[in-house]
């Protein structure tokens, strides 16, 4: 079965990368709908031509409701406000949804969870397989070194990223806190300035760097007395994120309604292999 995919933010950097990943998937999936915001100057443009190729017949539209019935799954990498609108439409149309948007407030996150409760829904801060392996490595290191190290998380992204820390950095913090049996929010220290006093070993430091065209670098530092362990993931292209999201979308259409993550996708496929 060829999975019919729709993507939001189709004309953006991630949208175009998703379109490329779908095109490279062969017969596994097909880009059927490309959605952009109503004020976009690219409404009506052909995605194939936008990607520098031949016309594909998939025209950019702002009306997700009108084309939702043609889709098997929607992949959304936009902003929280738009994602919430799209989630309401997916719920009304019983359409599975993959979300890679980050930067939700607690209220927005709760609203999103409530909106998609009746459909298969996969959300991750990062869909790259290597990052998801990094989550596991960080959790294992935190368990092994608990109480003997200071833990700091440093992330670097391009100048256009609008939320900080990144969703991936927050997920890394969650992995550390989970290993310690703690709540990451309660342990988080975001940057430091002034006379802060001695560091609390129980805290998790978060530091966000923005500049240039960096796709995404994440490092977790476990600093002990006499030694330091660093676990780093560097993304050189958004293609790893896009391929992971497309992989998740093809997997999600076979699942029952419920909430899933990229960890679930990878775990089941590891079992099958």
Task: Annotate the chain with three-state secondary structure.
Answer: CCEEEEEECCCCHHHHHHHHHHHCCCCCEEEEEEECCCCCCCCCCEHHHHCCCCCCCCEEECCHHHHHHHCCEEEECCCHHHHHHHHHHHHHHCCCEEECCCCCCHHHHHHHHHHCCCCEEEECCCCCHHHHHHHHHHHHHHHHHCCCCEEEEEEEECCCCCCCCCHHHHHHHHHHHHHHCCCHHHHEEECCCCCCCCCCCCCEEEEEEECCCCCEEEEEEEECCCCEEEEEEEECCCHHHHHHHHHHHHHHCCCCCEEECHHHHHHHHHHHC
Residue span of the structural domain in which 167 resides:
129-235
CA–CA dist 218, 166 (Å, integer):
9
What is the per-residue pLDDT for 202? 93
- 47 and 62 in a common domain: yes
Q: How far apart are CA 9 and CA 14, in angstroms?
A: 8
CB contact at 8 A, 76 and 35: no
Is the domain of 205 the same as that of 246?
no
- Rounded-to-integer distance, Cα 267 and Cα 123, Å: 15
Residues in the chain predicted with pLDDT less than 50, given as ranges, are 271, 273
Burial 114-139 (b: 16+ CB within 10 A, else e): ebbeebbbbbbbbbbbebbebbeebb
Residue 161 is among the residues annotated as catalytic for this protein: yes
Indicate if 110 and 154 belong to the same structural domain.
Answer: no
**Known catalytic residue at 157:** yes
**Is beta strand 228-235 parallel, antiparallel or unpaired with respect to 216-223?**
antiparallel
Same domain, 57 and 118: yes
Quote the crossing angle between the two packed helices 239-252 and 262-272, to the nearest 10°: 70
Taking each helix axis as running N to C, give the angle between helix 239-252 and helix 129-145, from 0 to 180 degrees, rounded to the nearest 10: 90
Say how far apart CA 153 and CA 190 lie, in whole Å.
10
pLDDT, one tens digit per residue, over 29-81 is 999 999 999 999 999 999 999 988 889 999 999 999 999 999 999 999 999 99
Catalytic residue among 86, 93, 143, 157: 157
Contact in structure between 15 and 9 (CB atoms under 8 Å): yes
Clarify whether residues 162 and 107 are in a common domain.
no
Residues 138 and 209 in one domain: yes
pTM value?
A: 0.84
User: What span, in angstroms and rounded, lies between the C-alpha atoms of 13 and 139?
Assistant: 31
Tally the domains of the chain. Answer: 2
**pLDDT for 251-272, tens place per residue?**
999 999 999 999 999 986 554 5
Question: Are 197 and 245 in a shared domain?
Answer: no
* Residues 35 and 50: beta-carbon distance below 8 Å: no
> For the domain that residue 80 is a member of, what is the CATH number?
3.40.50.720
Domain identity same for 88 and 13: yes
pLDDT at 273: 46
Give the CATH number, domain containing residue 162.
3.30.360.10
Residue 270: the pLDDT is 56
Do residues 17 and 118 both lie within one domain? Answer: yes
CA-to-CA distance for 131 and 165, rounded, in angstroms? Answer: 16
Tell me: do 102 and 193 sit in the same domain: no
Note whether 212 and 256 are same-domain residues: no
Q: How far apart are CA 216 and CA 138, in angstroms?
A: 17
* Active-site choice (93, 160, 161, 207): 161
- Domain shared by 181 and 242, yes or no: no
């Amino acid at each position: 079965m060829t999975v019919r995919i729709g993507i939001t933010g189709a004309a953006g950097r991630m949208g175009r990368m998703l379109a490329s990943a779908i095109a490279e998937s062969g017969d596994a999936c097909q880009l059927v709908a490309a959605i952009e915001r109503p004020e976009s100057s690219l409404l009506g443009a052909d995605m194939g031509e936008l990607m520098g190729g031949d016309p594909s017949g998939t025209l950019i539209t702002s009306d997700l409701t009108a084309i939702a019935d043609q889709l098997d799954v929607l992949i959304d990498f936009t902003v929280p406000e738009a994602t919430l609108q799209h989630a309401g439409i997916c719920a009304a149309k019983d359409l599975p949804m993959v979300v890679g948007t980050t930067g939700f407030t607690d209220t927005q996150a709760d609203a999103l969870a409530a909106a998609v409760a009746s459909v298969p829904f996969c959300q991750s801060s990062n869909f790259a397989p290597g990052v998801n392996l990094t989550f596991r490595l960080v959790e294992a290191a935190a368990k092994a070194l608990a109480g003997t190290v200071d833990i700091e998380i440093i992330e670097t992204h391009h100048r256009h990223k609008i939320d900080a820390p990144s969703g991936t950095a927050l997920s890394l913090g969650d992995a550390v806190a989970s290993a310690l049996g703690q709540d990451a929010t309660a342990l988080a220290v975001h940057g430091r300035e002034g006379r802060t006093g001695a560091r609390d070993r129980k805290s998790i430091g978060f530091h966000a760097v923005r500049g240039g065209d960096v796709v995404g670098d994440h490092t977790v530092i476990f600093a002990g007395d006499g030694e330091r362990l660093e676990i780093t993931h560097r993304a050189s292209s958004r293609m790893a994120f896009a391929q992971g999201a497309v992989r998740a979308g093809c997997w999600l259409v076979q699942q029952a309604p419920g909430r899933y993550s990229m960890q679930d996708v990878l775990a089941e496929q590891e079992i099958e292999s």
